[in-house]
Structure formats: structure tokens, C-alpha cells
Amino acid sequence: MTAQTLVGALDLDLDAFEGPFDLLLALVLREEIALSEVDLAEVVVAFVSHLDGDERLDLDACGEFLVLIAALLELKARSLFESEGDELGELEPEEAALELARRLAVYRQIKDATGWLEERLAESAERFFRLGPPAISPLPQTVEPSPQRPDALLRALAVLATEPPELSTAHMALRFPPVELFVERWRRLLSRRSRLDFDDEVAGLARIEVAVAFLALLELRKQREVELSQAGPFAPIRIMRAVAEERSARSSGHSV
């Protein structure tokens, strides 16, 4: 229910008037009912009783009713205290009634405009706008170049014409030590001992060197010079001299 419908549906039963509230306003503005004979307190009580029957408080209706009652109280005060008209304002009761009608009309226009703006806002709720500079930028201001020395300009052009040095990627290259180096190293160790632990022998080496050392072991295993064993995944790798190598060493008189 809109504010206009709620205020218009307010029925009054007063000593000087009986009927809807909007009719009372029309009669008062046309001076067919003396406002001094209307008990505005009973009008307020009737409006509050009318609101008790609604489940939800209509703030628009309450606001419109307060505007109307305030205007009626102003008119009634001016009519009751005509001797103090200077303190209450320069308007006569007739002029005040016209002013009330004008204010009500302006209020209705503003309220209608508010409803129209709310509808436009609801229609544009899903629209998004890009914030950025205007499509056409203003033309830059012309700046006069400062005087330059020809020799300085020539040196600047010479620097720009010089080709930049070629970028070096040498620091990005991976340097692998030769596999043969670690093959000979494993052979020297196995010539003195028959069993080795891979982790102990590569401790302190770089990751690349550890990888190359492992490749060297695979090469020796391929040539059947060593035997490799591991108890399980990620367990230590045991390196043993091949049996054939041990027999050859014993036959040649070398100790194990």
C-alpha cells in the first residue's frame, strides 16, 4: 500500500468533520471548514490507531502524514494568534493555505521523481562501466626545443649508432666433468678395497658431479667390473668389485 493510499484511507470521526482525511484537507484548503474547529490531536490518534492494524510500518506514509500535520499546525497557530503574526511569519492564513498546497504539490513531484530514479537504478543494476581516460585526449602543447650544441648532438648520435655488445649466456651453461675421470677414480678405489658405499664416496661433491659419478658406476657395471646392490628404494648403494676381477687380482698376486 502506497503512502497516498494509506493517508487517503484514513477515516476520521471528529466533532466538526466526519469522513476521509484527504477530504478534510481539501475542505480546509478551500476554507469550507475552519481549521480552528478541528482537533488535530484526534487526527494524530486516529492515524496511529490506523497504523496498528498493519503488520509493517509504512515509513513513506508516516513521513507524508507528518508533513501534512505540521503544515496544518502552522496554519492553525497563525489563525489562533493573529496578534503575533510578525513572530509566526509574514504570510496570512489564506496565503499560508496556498503555500501548503504548493508544498504538497512539490512534495508529490519529488516523490514521483524518486520512484522514477529507483526504477532506473534497478534497471541498470547489472550494467558496469569502464573507468578510463577519455577517448580523445587533448592535443599536447607545443614545446619549443632548447638550443643544442652541434658537437654534443653528434656525440649522442654516435652512441645511439653503436651496436650493443652481444649478450653472453656462458653463465647459464652446465659444465659436466668427464665420465672417464670418475671411471678411473672408481677403479683406483676398488683396487684398494673390495667394497664401497656410494654415499660416503660422493659426500661433499656437487649434484652434477654426483650424477656423473653414478653414470661412471653404470659404465663399470656394463663392463662387468663392479657389482651393485641396494636393499630397497632409496637405500644406500653398495659397490663391490666383480668376482672375475677379484680372481684376476689374486692370480696376479695382488692383495684384496
Q: Residue ranges per domain, the chain?
A: 3-121, 177-251
Residue-level pLDDT at 88: 40
pLDDT tens digits in sequence order for the chain, 256 residues long: 444 555 556 767 676 666 777 777 777 777 677 777 777 777 778 778 777 766 667 777 777 778 788 877 877 777 765 554 444 456 566 676 677 777 777 877 888 888 888 888 888 877 776 666 666 666 667 777 777 788 888 888 888 888 888 887 776 666 778 889 899 999 999 888 888 999 999 998 888 889 999 999 999 999 989 999 988 888 999 999 887 655 455 455 444 3
Q: Which amino acid is at 244?
A: A
Cβ proximity of 190 and 241 under 8 Å: yes
CB atoms within 10 A of CB 57: 8
Q: Under CATH, which architecture does the 177-251 domain have?
A: Orthogonal Bundle (1.10)
Q: What is the 3-state secondary structure (H, E, C) of the chain?
A: CCHHHHHHCCEEECCCCEEEHHHHHHHHHCCCCCHHHCCHHHHHHHHHHHHHCCCCCCHHHHHHHHHHHHHHHHHHHHHHCHHHHHHHCCCCHHHHHHHHHHHHHHHHHHHHHHHHHHHHHHHCCCCCCCCCCCCCCCCCCCCCCCCCCHHHHHHHHHHHHCCCCCCCCHHHCCCCCCHHHHHHHHHHHHHHCCEEEHHHHCCCCCHHHHHHHHHHHHHHHHCCCEEEEECCCCCCEEEEECHHHHHHHHHCCCCC
Residue-level pLDDT at 220: 92
Residue-level pLDDT at 237: 92
